[in-house]
A and B are shown apart, each in its own frame.
Chain A
Amino acid sequence: EAGVAQSPRYKIIEKRQSVAFWCNPISGHATLYWYQQILGQGPKLLIQFQNNGVVDDSQLPKDRFSAERLKGVDSTLKIQPAKLEDSAVYLCASSPGTGFGNTEAFFGQGTRLTVV
């Protein structure tokens, strides 16, 4: 079974530039998550989709971050304009269910963003 695919693996941009990350979840998984992992910290949820609807985006900095999940499958996360503090690993995860109790979430390898 193919895992969660993310691209690119690494990205270096200058502050105030824009950047986009792509995630292809495991086939058939209804729930998709984007997490931000800053060095030395645990992952923090940015946004959660159930199919193509947003369930939770309370921690997404909406003035600069946006995300969409077209047709309930692939997802893109965009930052515009980027700030130095956005340097982090961006993790995508998918799950077949609505919660973590009866299903498992599978994580991609992440995209490491460096803003200089």
Chain B
Amino acid sequence: AQSVTQLDSQVPVFEEAPVELRCNYSSSVSVYLFWYVQYPNQGLQLLLKYLSGSTLVKGINGFEAEFNKSQTSFHLRKPSVHISDTAEYFCAVSPISGYSTLTFGKGTMLLVSP
């Protein structure tokens, strides 16, 4: 079984400031890692994913995440946020083999203010 912990339920930040959203996971099998974004009243959209290779993954809208196997973490970062980045961000994992599905964390609400 897998579990995902997002340590911050809410992260307030000023526009143009850097941000880091934290994610830790637990799994007895190898997993893929994902970050999804959910804008108000919309479905989930994939930001980025880690499958293998370089531990630094770049995604859409200037976001990036770094996989740290020893710390079982997959933190999301952006060097300079915009008002439009205000949304809920979900970290998720999926087993590598077989019929897989996503196990999500509880989400982190990113609140960007001017």
Q: What is the interface of chain A, defined by CB distance below 8 A to chain B?
A: 3-4, 33, 40-45, 48, 50, 55-56, 91, 93, 98-102, 104-105, 107-110
Contacts and interface: CB of A to CB of B under 8 A. Distances in A.
B67 interface: no
Interface residues of B, number: 29
Q: Interface majority SS on A: helix, strand, loop or mixed?
A: loop
Contacts of B41: 109
A42 B43 contact: no
A109 B44 CA distance: 8
A99 B94 contact: yes
Q: Sorted from nearest, which 5 A-B pairs have the closest CB atoms? A: A42-B104, A107-B43, A99-B100, A100-B94, A107-B44
A56 B105 contact: no
Q: Interface majority SS on B: helix, strand, loop or mixed?
A: loop
A101 B96 CA distance: 7
A48 B90 contact: no
Contact of B4 (A42, A56, A108): A42
Interface in B78-114: 90, 92, 94-107
10 contacts: A40-B107, A41-B107, A42-B92, A43-B44, A45-B101, A48-B99, A100-B94, A101-B94, A102-B51, A107-B45
A85 B70 CA distance: 38
